[in-house]
Structure 1
Amino acid sequence: MKRLLFQAVFLATGMIMGVYASGDVGLDLMCGALVAVCCAAVGEYASGSWLAMALIVMLDCGACLVPAWYLMLPIAAFNAASSSAGVDGSRFLQALVPRWLWLLPMTIVIFRSIGSHVPSDLSIIILMVLQTVLGFAAGLLCTRCANLAREVRRLQDSRRDQIRRLRSQIAENDEDRALAVRTATLAERTRIAREIHDNVGHMLTRAIMQTEAAHVVAQVAGQEQSAQRFCEIHDTVSEAMTLVRKAVHDLKDEGTDFASQIETAAHSMDGAGPLRVRLVNGIDSAPAAVSRCFATAIREALNNTVKHSQARNVSITLRDFPALWQLCVQDDGTVRRSSAEAVAMQFIRPDDSTGIGISDIEERARALGGSAICGPYHEGWRVFVSIPKPASGSEMTQPEKGAH
């Protein structure tokens, strides 16, 4: 817009000087003004193009042949100042010709004015020369400002891109730090639970056994008062053992990471055969009881797939619904004829020892208020476990098998 404003001023000044010199707006001046307007318009929206250069050359050559056109030289000089801007190296030499061609008609006009003895013509020519030089300087200034504006925008874009990258890197670092802190916290809780179980738990178990033995000896010796004391000590130590066991279980539950536990269970049969396991985990977190239930179901399902079927692919899908958690383990293998009866017995008779794996899955699901369905599905075998979410404020627990 500034470029057009400058050229409008130059055009108006040229027209005024033309009217002042000739007393009328001639056809030559109108044609020159029309070419100057075209040159300004093309130079504004297609600077450096062959059309812009052609119009500059036309205006300069016309000023050499038509005297009235020299009044439009400031516009030609203005556009010539930016004729090489944005031009690649192969066309740079071509752009130099229209860039400095305006000097030729100006020189011719100057020589013509030397022989002129009319003061008005001489003053107009001097003003035209100064205005042409001013137009070239203004074109250089506008081009420089445009280049600086582009450089400023480039630097701003680069700065914004760097800021986005830094923010992204900071976010990733924060996530890594949070994950590292959580992993360290879970590992420390697991270590504390293991230390309590291995040291304090064993010592309390030994104390319980010693008090029971002392109670029996005191009863045999007829020392009823001592036997009563030993019984009280036994009850106290047993209560302490219960509290320690609960604390160990709580620490173990808090030290359980759902995603890593499911990932470990999904790859528990790696190396057992050409079995490809695809895990889709849509659950971010769940109570420890649910984690153990799902991990056990996944291990047992993969174990049955390897032992009793000819499957090559297993899909493990976990879904988190508003009211329940869901696990589906589906393979694509047909059951071997030699193993079909055993697998059927595991499904139909869960109390039988041959079906302890599937029975354990069903028992764990029922203990959490859920259900488990194991059986043939879509030319394969499917283990489907659904566990409802506990009500707000309630805790989900599951009895530990073989707890100390």
Structure 2
Amino acid sequence: MNRLFDKLIVLTCCLVGALRLPVDAALVASLCLSIALSAYVETLRDGARQHGSEVASLAFVATSVFVPALVPFAPLALYDAARGFDRESPSPLLGRAALFMVALAAHLCSGNLSAETIMLSAVFAFAATLLSVRTTQVEGEHARNATVRDDLQERTLLLEAKNRDLLERQDYEVQVATLAERARIAREIHDNVGHQLTRAKLQTDALAIVHEADPAAAADFQSVGRAVDEALSLVRTSVHDLHDDSFNLGLQAHKAADAIMRGSSVRVAVEVSCEHVPANVGICLLAVIREAMSNALRHGCAKRIEVRCLEHPALWQLSVLDDGGATDDMAASAAVTGASAGDRHGTPADPAAFSGQFHTSGGMGLVSMRERVEALGGSFSAGPRRDSAGWRVFASIPKERAGAA
């Protein structure tokens, strides 16, 4: 848009310079030619615009040596020639300016143009050149400012993302520490207070038996025993509540994923969309997640693992996918007992899904994972993925049967 305004100004100056020339076909043709060449330059792409402007301006200025009617409109051509001005190599622009001065001198000597017209053309040409160079510099500054702005905006977005990650990590660490403290308190109550109350209960029961001959004393000991038994029941309830509250499947799954990624090149993506998972179900699913990730890393040489645990109205569903290859030991061990378990809709599993024995050093193996899941009334399957290379571990636990278990 700045170029268009500049060219309108230069064209106005050219018309002022042409006022003293007779209006004839040559003058009108020169006006139309200058406008056409200037408009043609603007239609070119950025890469070809500089070359096109150099060629058009050179042809126009060279022709003006022989056609006097072109001289008043030469500033418009010189404006386009100066748009690619470079201080390190100014020779193209200086060459066109020298050629234009030759044209002015030739027409002055031949008397084709008046001295006033030649002077105005020279002044307007110089002004057009300066205006073009200034606009080029302004456009360059705008381009650099836009680049800097985009870079700063990108850095700002990156910093905001890192700040969000840090805050989420901070919340995660705080929650993990809180749950760990709850678990520690539960252990302390169970190991200390619970044992002491159990000891007091046994002593009161023994003293009640010893003093059976004295009904009043025996009744007192029995009363104390009932009070201790009540306190022991309350302690057990509190311990179980603290233990259940201290288990968060999402946090524990992310913690297990961090442990797997630490010191290895494997990347683990964890998605846990479960709320209020019972402790026994959560511990079972966490054990399956840990063993499946360990197998994928050590035996499948996986580079990426996807863990997804979802809660449906009637069941919890876990799937662990990796992009590693199934070794011969994995395939053989998975085929020991054959396929078992169904898919997420309760239909029979596909023939490629296996469940069987696969023991790893320090791990519980496929059989142990299957037994854990089936102990809660669920189904388990493991085998090669059908859609792509890799291994798939799938488990589902019904809520009703898990609650009864």
| Fold shared by both chains (TM-score > 0.5) | yes
User: What corresponds to 2:336 in structure 1?
Assistant: 335
Deviation per residue, 1:232-280 (Å, 9 max, x gap): 11111111111111111111111113146669999xxxxxxxxxxxx99
CA distance in 2 between partners of 1:80 and 1:125 (Å): 20
Partner of 1:274: none
Q: d(CA) in 2 for partners of 1:115 and 1:281?
A: 88
Asked if 1 retains the 8 angstrom alpha-carbon contact of 2:50 and 2:83, the reply is no
Mean Cα deviation higher: 58-67 or 173-182 = 58-67
Task: State whether structure 2 residue 48 is matched by structure 1 residue 53.
Answer: no
**1:201–1:241 Cα contact (<8 Å) kept:** yes
Per the alignment, residue 324 of structure 1 pairs with 315
Partner of 2:273: 284
Q: How does 1:307-318 map to 2 (within 5 A)?
A: 318=309
The alignment status of 1:140 with 2:133, answered yes or no, reads yes
Deviations for 1:292-314, whole angstroms, at most 9, x for unmatched residues?
3545788999xxx9xxxxx999x
Per the alignment, residue 271 of structure 1 pairs with none
Task: Mark the runs of 5 or more structure 2 residues left unpaired by the alignment.
Answer: 258-267, 322-329, 339-354, 357-366, 385-392
SS at match of 1:169: helix
1:240 corresponds to which residue? Answer: 231
Say if 1:204 and 1:237, in contact at 8 Å, map to a contact too: yes
SS in 1 for 2:316: strand
Give CA deviations for 1:176-208 in whole Å, capped at 9, x if unaligned: 111111111111111111111111111111111
Query: Structure 1: 5+ residue runs without aligned partners?
Result: 267-278, 306-310, 338-342, 345-354, 366-370, 391-395, 400-404
- 1:213 Cα deviation from its structure 2 partner: 1.4
Contact 1:372 1:383 in 2 (8 A): no
CA distance in 1, matches of 2:383, 2:106: 103
User: What is the one-letter code of the residue matched to 2:11?
Assistant: L
The structure having more radius of gyration, on CA atoms, is 1
Write the mapping of 1:1-400 to structure 2, written as runs, cut at 5 A. 1-18=1-18, 20-27=19-26, 30-31=29-30, 33-35=32-34, 37-43=36-42, 45-46=44-45, 49-84=50-85, 93=89, 96-98=91-93, 100-106=95-101, 108-109=103-104, 113=108, 121-219=114-212, 222-259=213-250, 283-285=272-274, 286-294=277-285, 318-326=309-317, 333-335=334-336, 365=376, 371-372=377-378, 385-388=396-399
Percent of residue pairs identical: 24
Contact 1:63/1:70 (<8 A) preserved: yes
2:183 counterpart letter in structure 1: T
Q: Distance in 1 between matches of 2:189 and 2:75?
A: 94
Per the TM alignment, residue 323 of structure 1 is displaced from its structure 2 partner at its CA by 3.3
Q: CA deviation digits over 1:328-352, x for unaligned, max 9? A: 8998533389xxxxx99xxxxxxxx
Q: Tell me, what secondary structure is at the counterpart of 2:132? A: helix
Using the alignment, how far apart are the partners of 1:356 and 1:158 within structure 2?
53
Cα distance in 2 between the residues matched to 1:137 and 1:299: 72
Partner Cα distance (2:147, 2:394) in 1? 58
The answer (yes or no) to whether the contact 2:284–2:372 under 8 Å persists in 1 is no
Does the CA-based 8 Å contact 1:76-1:102 persist in structure 2? no
Preserved CA contact (<8 Å) 1:32 1:59 = no
Is 1:325–1:389's contact at 8 Å kept on the other side of the alignment? no
Contact 1:57 1:101 survives alignment (8 Å): yes
Q: 1:357 to 1:170 in 2, by over 3 A?
A: closer
* Matched-pair contact (CA < 8 Å) for 2:249–2:286: no
CA spacing shift, 1:151–1:262, aligned 2, 3 Å: closer
CA distance in 2 between partners of 1:312 and 1:43 (Å):
61
TM-score w.r.t. length of structure 2: 0.68
Q: Secondary structure at the match of 1:24?
A: coil
C-alpha distance 143-377 of structure 1, shift in aligned 2 (>3 A) = closer
Deviation at 1:80, TM superposition (A): 2.3
Q: Cα–Cα, structure 1 residues 167 and 356, in superposed 2: closer, same or farther, change >3 Å? A: closer
Q: 1:179 to 1:49 in 2, by over 3 A?
A: same
Total equivalences in the alignment: 339
* TM-score in terms of structure 1 length: 0.68
